[in-house]
Structure 1
Amino acid sequence: MYKKILLPTDGSEYSVREIERATKLLAEDGEIIILSVAMELRKTAFQRSKDIDKANKEALKEANDNVKAMKEGFDDSVNVKTKVVVGFPAESINEVAEEEGCDLIIIASSGKSGLKKFVIGSVAERVLKDSEKDVLLIHN
Protein backbone atom coordinates (compact mmCIF):
# COMPACT_ATOMS: atom_id res chain seq x y z
CA MET A 1 0.00 0.00 0.00
CA TYR A 2 1.16 3.53 -0.81
CA LYS A 3 0.90 6.56 1.50
CA LYS A 4 0.90 9.23 -1.20
CA ILE A 5 -0.14 8.69 -4.82
CA LEU A 6 0.11 11.22 -7.63
CA LEU A 7 -2.57 11.05 -10.32
CA PRO A 8 -1.78 13.27 -13.29
CA THR A 9 -4.73 14.00 -15.54
CA ASP A 10 -5.13 15.60 -18.94
CA GLY A 11 -8.91 15.31 -18.78
CA SER A 12 -9.02 12.39 -21.20
CA GLU A 13 -11.28 9.40 -20.75
CA TYR A 14 -8.19 7.29 -20.08
CA SER A 15 -7.10 9.20 -17.00
CA VAL A 16 -10.39 8.32 -15.28
CA ARG A 17 -9.21 4.68 -15.17
CA GLU A 18 -6.52 5.77 -12.74
CA ILE A 19 -9.13 6.32 -10.00
CA GLU A 20 -9.91 2.63 -9.48
CA ARG A 21 -6.25 1.64 -9.32
CA ALA A 22 -5.35 4.47 -6.95
CA THR A 23 -8.16 3.62 -4.56
CA LYS A 24 -7.04 -0.03 -4.40
CA LEU A 25 -3.35 0.84 -3.81
CA LEU A 26 -3.81 3.67 -1.29
CA ALA A 27 -2.99 3.02 2.36
CA GLU A 28 -5.89 3.54 4.76
CA ASP A 29 -4.44 6.85 6.00
CA GLY A 30 -2.96 7.79 2.61
CA GLU A 31 -3.44 10.77 0.33
CA ILE A 32 -4.09 11.10 -3.38
CA ILE A 33 -2.90 14.19 -5.24
CA ILE A 34 -4.65 14.89 -8.53
CA LEU A 35 -2.46 16.99 -10.80
CA SER A 36 -3.11 18.77 -14.07
CA VAL A 37 -0.43 20.68 -15.94
CA ALA A 38 -1.35 23.77 -17.95
CA MET A 39 1.12 24.35 -20.74
CA GLU A 40 2.09 28.00 -21.02
CA LEU A 41 2.52 29.46 -24.46
CA ARG A 42 5.05 32.20 -24.94
CA LYS A 43 4.73 35.11 -27.33
CA THR A 44 6.66 34.93 -30.58
CA ALA A 45 7.17 37.60 -33.22
CA PHE A 46 4.23 36.28 -35.25
CA GLN A 47 1.62 36.07 -32.49
CA ARG A 48 -0.40 38.73 -30.79
CA SER A 49 0.01 39.08 -27.06
CA LYS A 50 -3.74 39.03 -26.38
CA ASP A 51 -4.10 35.73 -28.31
CA ILE A 52 -1.37 34.13 -26.21
CA ASP A 53 -2.91 35.46 -23.00
CA LYS A 54 -6.30 34.07 -24.00
CA ALA A 55 -4.85 30.64 -24.83
CA ASN A 56 -2.97 30.54 -21.50
CA LYS A 57 -6.12 31.45 -19.56
CA GLU A 58 -8.04 28.71 -21.38
CA ALA A 59 -5.30 26.15 -20.64
CA LEU A 60 -5.37 27.07 -16.95
CA LYS A 61 -9.16 26.83 -16.83
CA GLU A 62 -9.04 23.43 -18.54
CA ALA A 63 -6.44 22.18 -16.04
CA ASN A 64 -8.62 23.31 -13.12
CA ASP A 65 -11.67 21.66 -14.70
CA ASN A 66 -9.67 18.43 -15.15
CA VAL A 67 -8.70 18.08 -11.49
CA LYS A 68 -12.19 19.02 -10.33
CA ALA A 69 -13.79 16.41 -12.59
CA MET A 70 -11.40 13.68 -11.49
CA LYS A 71 -11.88 14.50 -7.80
CA GLU A 72 -15.63 13.95 -8.23
CA GLY A 73 -14.85 10.31 -9.14
CA PHE A 74 -13.58 9.58 -5.63
CA ASP A 75 -15.60 8.59 -2.58
CA ASP A 76 -15.69 11.26 0.13
CA SER A 77 -13.83 8.92 2.50
CA VAL A 78 -10.66 9.16 0.36
CA ASN A 79 -8.21 11.95 1.24
CA VAL A 80 -7.85 13.80 -2.09
CA LYS A 81 -5.93 17.00 -2.79
CA THR A 82 -5.85 18.79 -6.14
CA LYS A 83 -3.02 20.74 -7.70
CA VAL A 84 -2.61 22.69 -10.93
CA VAL A 85 0.79 23.85 -12.16
CA VAL A 86 2.01 25.64 -15.26
CA GLY A 87 4.80 23.99 -17.19
CA PHE A 88 5.71 21.03 -19.36
CA PRO A 89 3.67 17.92 -18.45
CA ALA A 90 6.32 15.21 -17.96
CA GLU A 91 8.79 17.45 -16.15
CA SER A 92 6.07 18.98 -13.98
CA ILE A 93 4.65 15.58 -13.03
CA ASN A 94 8.06 14.36 -11.87
CA GLU A 95 8.80 17.63 -10.05
CA VAL A 96 5.49 17.54 -8.17
CA ALA A 97 6.01 13.87 -7.26
CA GLU A 98 9.37 14.82 -5.70
CA GLU A 99 8.12 18.00 -3.98
CA GLU A 100 5.08 16.25 -2.49
CA GLY A 101 6.99 13.13 -1.45
CA CYS A 102 4.79 10.78 -3.48
CA ASP A 103 5.47 7.05 -3.34
CA LEU A 104 3.73 6.25 -6.62
CA ILE A 105 2.66 7.94 -9.85
CA ILE A 106 -0.28 6.36 -11.66
CA ILE A 107 -0.56 7.54 -15.25
CA ALA A 108 -2.57 6.46 -18.30
CA SER A 109 -0.47 5.37 -21.26
CA SER A 110 -2.32 7.57 -23.71
CA GLY A 111 -4.52 10.58 -23.61
CA LYS A 112 -4.09 13.15 -26.31
CA SER A 113 -4.09 11.73 -29.80
CA GLY A 114 -3.48 12.59 -33.41
CA LEU A 115 -1.12 15.39 -34.33
CA LYS A 116 -0.84 16.65 -30.72
CA LYS A 117 0.52 13.29 -29.59
CA PHE A 118 2.97 13.20 -32.47
CA VAL A 119 4.24 16.72 -31.83
CA ILE A 120 4.26 16.60 -28.02
CA GLY A 121 5.30 12.97 -27.64
CA SER A 122 4.17 10.53 -25.02
CA VAL A 123 4.00 12.17 -21.60
CA ALA A 124 3.58 8.81 -19.90
CA GLU A 125 6.70 7.47 -21.57
CA ARG A 126 8.76 10.46 -20.43
CA VAL A 127 7.44 10.21 -16.87
CA LEU A 128 8.26 6.50 -16.80
CA LYS A 129 11.74 7.08 -18.20
CA ASP A 130 12.70 10.07 -16.04
CA SER A 131 10.96 9.40 -12.72
CA GLU A 132 12.77 8.24 -9.61
CA LYS A 133 9.41 7.19 -8.14
CA ASP A 134 7.45 4.00 -8.76
CA VAL A 135 5.22 4.47 -11.81
CA LEU A 136 2.14 2.44 -12.60
CA LEU A 137 1.32 2.72 -16.27
CA ILE A 138 -2.35 2.07 -17.07
CA HIS A 139 -2.68 0.65 -20.58
CA ASN A 140 -5.68 1.65 -22.66
Structure 2
Amino acid sequence: MPYHHILVAVDLTEECDPVIHRARELAVSNSAKLSLVHIVEPMAMAFGGDVPMDLSQLQQQQQFDQAKERLDRLIVKYPELSREYSHLTYGQPRQEIHHLAKEQGCDIIVVGSHGRHGLALLLGSTANDVLHGAPCDVLAVRLQTKS
Protein backbone atom coordinates (compact mmCIF):
# COMPACT_ATOMS: atom_id res chain seq x y z
CA MET A 1 0.00 0.00 0.00
CA PRO A 2 1.56 3.33 -1.01
CA TYR A 3 2.16 6.20 1.37
CA HIS A 4 0.38 9.49 0.66
CA HIS A 5 1.74 11.79 3.37
CA ILE A 6 5.14 11.37 4.99
CA LEU A 7 6.11 13.21 8.18
CA VAL A 8 9.85 13.50 8.73
CA ALA A 9 10.87 14.43 12.28
CA VAL A 10 14.30 16.04 12.52
CA ASP A 11 16.61 17.44 15.17
CA LEU A 12 17.97 20.16 12.82
CA THR A 13 21.58 18.99 13.10
CA GLU A 14 23.78 17.81 10.21
CA GLU A 15 22.91 14.31 11.39
CA CYS A 16 19.37 14.71 10.06
CA ASP A 17 20.51 14.69 6.39
CA PRO A 18 20.21 10.88 5.97
CA VAL A 19 16.74 11.02 7.52
CA ILE A 20 15.63 13.67 5.04
CA HIS A 21 17.22 11.78 2.12
CA ARG A 22 15.33 8.60 3.05
CA ALA A 23 12.05 10.48 3.50
CA ARG A 24 12.57 12.18 0.11
CA GLU A 25 13.16 8.80 -1.56
CA LEU A 26 9.94 7.49 -0.03
CA ALA A 27 8.03 10.61 -1.10
CA VAL A 28 9.28 10.38 -4.69
CA SER A 29 8.67 6.64 -5.03
CA ASN A 30 5.13 7.00 -3.62
CA SER A 31 4.29 10.40 -5.14
CA ALA A 32 3.59 11.43 -1.57
CA LYS A 33 3.44 14.77 0.19
CA LEU A 34 6.42 15.40 2.48
CA SER A 35 6.04 17.32 5.74
CA LEU A 36 8.78 18.25 8.18
CA VAL A 37 8.60 18.72 11.93
CA HIS A 38 11.02 19.81 14.62
CA ILE A 39 10.02 19.88 18.27
CA VAL A 40 11.69 22.32 20.64
CA GLU A 41 11.72 20.50 23.96
CA PRO A 42 11.23 22.60 27.11
CA MET A 43 14.39 22.93 29.17
CA ALA A 44 12.52 21.72 32.25
CA MET A 45 11.56 18.50 30.41
CA ALA A 46 15.04 17.91 29.04
CA PHE A 47 16.67 18.38 32.45
CA GLY A 48 14.03 16.76 34.63
CA GLY A 49 12.43 19.92 35.94
CA ASP A 50 15.58 21.25 37.63
CA VAL A 51 15.64 24.52 35.65
CA PRO A 52 14.34 27.71 37.34
CA MET A 53 11.25 29.05 35.52
CA ASP A 54 12.67 32.50 34.71
CA LEU A 55 15.72 30.91 33.07
CA SER A 56 13.51 28.37 31.35
CA GLN A 57 11.29 31.07 29.78
CA LEU A 58 14.28 33.06 28.51
CA GLN A 59 15.91 29.98 27.12
CA GLN A 60 12.63 28.83 25.56
CA GLN A 61 12.46 31.87 23.29
CA GLN A 62 16.15 31.57 22.40
CA GLN A 63 15.73 27.87 21.61
CA PHE A 64 12.72 28.59 19.43
CA ASP A 65 14.47 31.42 17.55
CA GLN A 66 17.56 29.28 16.94
CA ALA A 67 15.42 26.37 15.77
CA LYS A 68 13.53 28.63 13.36
CA GLU A 69 16.82 29.84 11.85
CA ARG A 70 18.09 26.27 11.43
CA LEU A 71 14.75 25.17 9.97
CA ASP A 72 14.90 28.03 7.45
CA ARG A 73 18.42 26.97 6.42
CA LEU A 74 17.25 23.37 6.03
CA ILE A 75 14.39 24.45 3.76
CA VAL A 76 16.86 26.42 1.61
CA LYS A 77 19.10 23.32 1.44
CA TYR A 78 16.15 21.04 0.57
CA PRO A 79 13.69 23.12 -1.51
CA GLU A 80 11.17 20.24 -1.67
CA LEU A 81 10.60 20.85 2.06
CA SER A 82 8.31 23.83 1.65
CA ARG A 83 7.52 26.23 4.50
CA GLU A 84 3.86 25.38 3.99
CA TYR A 85 4.50 21.81 5.17
CA SER A 86 7.15 22.59 7.79
CA HIS A 87 6.20 22.62 11.43
CA LEU A 88 8.10 24.01 14.39
CA THR A 89 6.44 23.45 17.71
CA TYR A 90 7.22 23.41 21.40
CA GLY A 91 6.58 20.46 23.68
CA GLN A 92 7.31 16.81 24.33
CA PRO A 93 8.56 15.24 21.05
CA ARG A 94 6.56 12.01 21.17
CA GLN A 95 3.25 13.72 21.93
CA GLU A 96 3.74 16.53 19.42
CA ILE A 97 4.87 14.22 16.61
CA HIS A 98 1.95 11.84 17.22
CA HIS A 99 -0.49 14.75 17.38
CA LEU A 100 0.78 16.28 14.14
CA ALA A 101 0.77 12.91 12.35
CA LYS A 102 -2.89 12.41 13.32
CA GLU A 103 -3.89 16.00 12.57
CA GLN A 104 -2.20 15.98 9.14
CA GLY A 105 -3.33 12.45 8.20
CA CYS A 106 0.22 11.11 7.79
CA ASP A 107 0.75 7.49 6.72
CA ILE A 108 4.31 7.20 8.02
CA ILE A 109 6.69 9.02 10.35
CA VAL A 110 10.40 8.97 9.46
CA VAL A 111 12.87 9.51 12.33
CA GLY A 112 16.59 9.07 12.88
CA SER A 113 17.94 6.34 15.12
CA HIS A 114 21.37 5.73 16.60
CA GLY A 115 21.72 1.95 16.45
CA ARG A 116 23.10 1.48 19.94
CA HIS A 117 24.30 -1.93 21.11
CA GLY A 118 21.89 -4.26 22.80
CA LEU A 119 18.18 -4.74 22.29
CA ALA A 120 17.18 -2.16 24.92
CA LEU A 121 19.21 0.53 23.14
CA LEU A 122 18.14 -0.40 19.60
CA LEU A 123 16.46 2.96 19.09
CA GLY A 124 17.41 6.35 20.47
CA SER A 125 15.11 7.69 23.12
CA THR A 126 13.14 9.99 20.78
CA ALA A 127 12.86 7.38 18.02
CA ASN A 128 11.80 4.79 20.59
CA ASP A 129 9.21 7.16 22.07
CA VAL A 130 7.80 7.98 18.62
CA LEU A 131 7.52 4.29 17.75
CA HIS A 132 5.35 3.47 20.76
CA GLY A 133 1.77 4.57 20.30
CA ALA A 134 2.32 6.05 16.85
CA PRO A 135 -0.88 6.53 14.83
CA CYS A 136 0.81 5.20 11.67
CA ASP A 137 3.91 3.37 10.44
CA VAL A 138 7.30 4.53 11.69
CA LEU A 139 10.55 4.22 9.77
CA ALA A 140 13.70 4.58 11.87
CA VAL A 141 16.66 5.56 9.69
CA ARG A 142 19.91 4.35 11.16
CA LEU A 143 22.35 7.20 11.74
CA GLN A 144 26.10 6.71 11.68
CA THR A 145 27.70 7.06 15.08
CA LYS A 146 30.82 9.19 15.23
CA SER A 147 33.80 7.33 16.66
Same fold (TM over 0.5): yes
Q: Quote the Cα distance in structure 2 between the aligned partners of 1:70 and 1:79.
A: 8
* 1:69 pairs with 2:73: yes
Corresponding pairs, count: 125
Q: Quote the Cα distance in structure 1 between the aligned partners of 2:129 and 2:51.
A: 30
- Using the aligned pairs only, state the percent identity: 22
Q: Quote the Cα distance in structure 2 between the aligned partners of 1:55 and 1:84.
A: 16
Q: TM-score normalized by structure 1? A: 0.76
Q: Could you say which residue in structure 2 is the equivalent of 1:32? A: 34
Q: Could you say which residue in structure 2 is the equivalent of 1:93? A: 97
Higher strand share: 1
For the 8 Å contact 1:8–1:93, the answer to whether it is kept is yes
Which of 111, 116, 127 lines up with 1:124 in the alignment? 127
Q: Quote the Cα distance in structure 2 between the aligned partners of 1:48 and 1:122.
A: 25
Query: Which secondary structure does the structure 1 equivalent of 2:13 belong to?
Result: coil
Deviant stretches of 4+, over 6 Å: none
Q: TM-score normalized by structure 2? A: 0.73
Q: Quote the Cα distance in structure 2 between the aligned partners of 1:46 and 1:133.
A: 34
CA-to-aligned-CA distance 1:7-61 (integer Å, 9 cap, x gap): 1111222211112111211133x3211111112346x797262x22211011211
Q: Which amino acid aligns with 1:37?
A: I
Q: Quote the Cα distance in structure 2 between the aligned partners of 1:65 and 1:126.
A: 26
Query: Which secondary structure does the structure 1 equivalent of 2:77 belong to?
Result: coil
Query: Which secondary structure does the structure 1 equivalent of 2:106 belong to?
Result: coil
Question: In the TM superposition, what are the counterparts of 1:2-17 in structure 2 within 5 Å?
Answer: 2-17=3-18
Higher helix share: 2
Inter-CA distance 47–31: structure 2 relative to 1 (3 Å threshold): same
For the 8 Å contact 1:10–1:66, the answer to whether it is kept is no
